[in-house]
Structure 1
């Protein structure tokens, strides 16, 4: 069975797996040298690809936590891997491995994986939000992933907000900037700690404001939340919708579906689906 070697590269960890039309193989996890030099990060990517590439792989598809010029797979900048910027990643990988390569922002991969493989159809206009170390997002309009002219579409986390940007209030940074651990605060809130619950209420207010901008810009049918913080959705759902209602028209909010992701490894599945979309005849080859 032929497949595509898919990689989900994050700021701290990477997942690697061969994906075929039958689904995911065994997923392997690696720690990312996020503070390494540009050369060290690239060497790490070469190493994990080399470790898992085999004769059944017809290509390589990566989701990276970066601003990506999708047309040529050029890495513009990567906030959580500070030295990894201005990298012609697609060109380098094609040259080294002699296979077709697709490179996308990791939030685009998450969004497209959810759209294609999650339980969301019929749904033509769709937004995916990843709530982790930062806030990433992807947009599907009329059934197609929308990346914009330069690959920056959906960078809602960089919108100006209060004394900074949206990401500082609507991601793991909200807790980190207060010297707190989001996972620990979630555990305490689940056990009834009022102070911790108040933090998540505040988080929901900020995220609700961010989603109101998305709602007014794209009017999606559904917004799906991924990333580690989405696991605590029950702690901020109420304040999120209160904030949404305050900043958006009642009709839009009443028709909007917001839910946490239920699809495991959505970014890897999204990388696979994007490879099929962008590489000529890939689907026919994978179908044998």
Structure 2
């Protein structure tokens, strides 16, 4: 797959339904692929799947691997503790597995932290001191830039407000693809219906915006960020849910806090991959 000579980093964005891989050289993607995953595989089979998918990307020019995982991880050891949307894949020494098989340094991070760092470094949000990145897809993930630094917490779970109690469940149930799934609907189909102007679909996205606004109020009151940036597959529907989200923020937050807050979204599907690239260059390649 890759014939390039220049050194590169293999970056991986693992989601609840798909896998994205890119070789990145000097901040530019030189080869990539996207692949659906089978989230019901057991740990051994899922590990084998990952190795099979990554193998064509690893050549002698590969300087290392950085993978973003949608769950709890210990970054220093590269240990995957738990991934709710891949329930049988847990307690995995992923860094050890990859380094033994591929013979290159490996960094394991939370996927939302990769996204947030990608926003900060690659999407040029470095003029903000405090940024919250929110990924809306199969589930809801979040990452924090506080005082110009990525803050991850002990198990890369800092900022993960999707698991906060909300109504009869948790925030993630009402503010991600699960919002549609719990009603027997498909998010993509509902998005297409909203684009066509169907009232029911438009109302669903308005409701999603209200739920998400209620959740973001808690985040803003806790961290008082300069900006909130949404990404992920559901974020492409932002024009349909942002009006209600903004109205909820405006009616709930102190006026000075609301007026100072910027709310953005990105449809760049590679943001987390670039975040993984920048995390590897800053955390691994700068070591003595």
The TM-score, its normalising length taken from structure 1, stands at 0.94
Q: Offset of 1:104 from its aligned partner?
A: 0.5
Q: Who is 2:135 aligned against?
A: 130
**1:81 equivalenced with 2:86 (yes/no):** yes
**Residues of 2 paired with 1:249 and 1:237: CA distance?**
19
Pairing partner for 1:54 from 56, 59, 65: 59
Tell me how many residue pairs correspond in the alignment. 283
Q: Who is 1:278 aligned against?
A: 283
Q: Offset of 1:68 from its aligned partner?
A: 0.9
**Residues of 2 paired with 1:67 and 1:182: CA distance?**
25
Per-residue CA distance 1:241-283 (angstroms, 9 max, x = gap): 111123321211111111111434011100110101111437x
**1:93 equivalenced with 2:98 (yes/no):** yes
Pairing partner for 1:159 from 141, 160, 164: 164
Runs of 4+ residues over 4 Å off in structure 1? none
Root-mean-square deviation (CA), in Å?
1.5
Q: Who is 2:245 aligned against?
A: 240
**Residues of 2 paired with 1:232 and 1:264: CA distance?**
14
Aligned pairs for 1:79-228 within 5 A: 79-228=84-233
Contact 2:16 2:139 in 1 (8 A): no
Q: Offset of 1:149 from its aligned partner?
A: 2.5
- Three-state SS of the structure 1 residue aligned to 2:157 is coil
User: Which consecutive residues of structure 2, in runs of 5 or more, have no partner in the other structure?
Assistant: 1-5
**1:45 equivalenced with 2:37 (yes/no):** no
Q: 1:251/1:200 Cα in 2 relative to 1: closer, same or farther (>3 Å)? A: same
Aligned pairs for 1:251-270 within 5 A: 251-270=256-275
Q: Offset of 1:22 from its aligned partner?
A: 4.4
**Residues of 2 paired with 1:189 and 1:31: CA distance?**
25
Q: Offset of 1:192 from its aligned partner?
A: 2.0
Q: 1:211/1:22 Cα in 2 relative to 1: closer, same or farther (>3 Å)? A: closer
**Residues of 2 paired with 1:138 and 1:226: CA distance?**
11
Per-residue CA distance 1:43-71 (angstroms, 9 max, x = gap): 01111222210011111110111211112
Contact 1:63 1:271 in 2 (8 A): yes
Contact 2:115 2:133 in 1 (8 A): yes
- Three-state SS of the structure 2 residue aligned to 1:51 is helix
Q: Offset of 1:32 from its aligned partner?
A: 1.4
Q: Offset of 1:193 from its aligned partner?
A: 1.7
**Residues of 2 paired with 1:12 and 1:150: CA distance?**
22
- Three-state SS of the structure 2 residue aligned to 1:174 is helix
User: Which consecutive residues of structure 1, in runs of 5 or more, have no partner in the other structure?
Assistant: none
